[in-house]
Amino acid sequence: MNEKAEIPQQSRLNPPDLPVVATDGTGWTTVSASPAWWRAAGQDAAWTGVAEQIAALGEGSVRSALCRVTTATTGRPCRHNTAVHGPCPHHGPDHEAGRCGAATKSGAPCRWNLVVHGACPNHPESWESIVQAREQQERLAAAAREQEQRRLEEQLAEQYAETLLLPCSYCAASPGDRCISPGSGQVSAKLHTPRVKLRAHHADAAAAACTGCDAAVGELCRTSTGRPAVESHAPRRRAAELAVDTR
Ligand SMILES: [Zn+2]
Ligand SMILES: [Zn+2]
Ligand SMILES: [Zn+2]
Ligand SMILES: [Zn+2]
């Protein structure tokens, strides 16, 4: 894979000499130095200290987002950036899943990486299967989305039907009748907000008692003056939400 080389971080070691050390984020370092420095380094007793500095520089610059698995082809740590490009297709958790897998002459499954290189030149038929698997995945995802959409629509329809069973305090519609726009006298497409709130209040009341006003399960909340509250009290609403979540 063609990964764009990043400009290496450069730093200079301390004396005895001044080689240029580049780290690449994998723990490896590249040392660029004069022949004189290399010769001196080979004889200098301080070399072990310098080598330790180089190793520490490499380790200190490790970027955890890089794959860093030693690759079989180059013998160097892989520089695939998982933060930018996602899991490494060569060494990531799913890298074995995208192999060609067709039986080879030796009997071992073909290791051609379909995700990285596309269709296998020796076994084009294996590409078909990965394409089909992808299509199947997409179909399943689309079906799941559709099902979720239907579930939401059904839930809304159910809530509408439940709301319709209550009277509307805004337009005085009787239970079972749709709301009327007071201005035009026409049937309104939506049910009025106080009626919708009343349904939510009934649902909360059915799910939990209220610690705010001591209303029992099934009883609507009351205000401090004893009048019926429009909405359920906050603790009860939270308790009702929890009851729904853990159902
Ligand atoms: Zn990798
Ligand atoms: Zn193959
Ligand atoms: Zn109404
Ligand atoms: Zn209450």
Measured in Å, residue 247 CA sits from the centre of ligand 3 at 32
- Give the E-state strand segments of 17-174 in sequence order: 20-23, 29-32
Measured in Å, residue 129 CA sits from the centre of ligand 2 at 12
pLDDT above 90 for 217: yes
pLDDT above 90 for 5: no
- pLDDT for 233 equals 95
- pLDDT for 17 equals 56
pLDDT above 80 for 80: yes
What is the distance, to the nearest Å, from the Cα of residue 221 to the centroid of all Cα atoms in its chain? 40
Half-sphere exposure of 118 (CA within 13 A, CB side): 2
Measured in Å, residue 203 CA sits from the centre of ligand 4 at 13
Q: Provide mean pLDDT across the span 69-75.
A: 85
Give the closest ligand to the alpha carbon of residue 71: 1
Greater model confidence, 217 or 96 = 217
Report pLDDT digits (tens) over 82-140.
Answer: 999 888 888 888 788 888 888 888 888 998 888 888 889 998 888 887 788 888 989 99
Q: How far is CA 228 from CA 210, 215, 233, in A?
A: 13, 11, 11
Spell out the long-range contacts of 232-239 with Cβ–Cβ below 8 A and sequence spacing 24 or more. Answer: 232/200, 232/201, 232/204, 232/205, 235/210, 235/211, 236/204, 236/205, 236/208, 236/209, 236/210, 236/211, 236/212, 237/204, 239/207, 239/208, 239/211
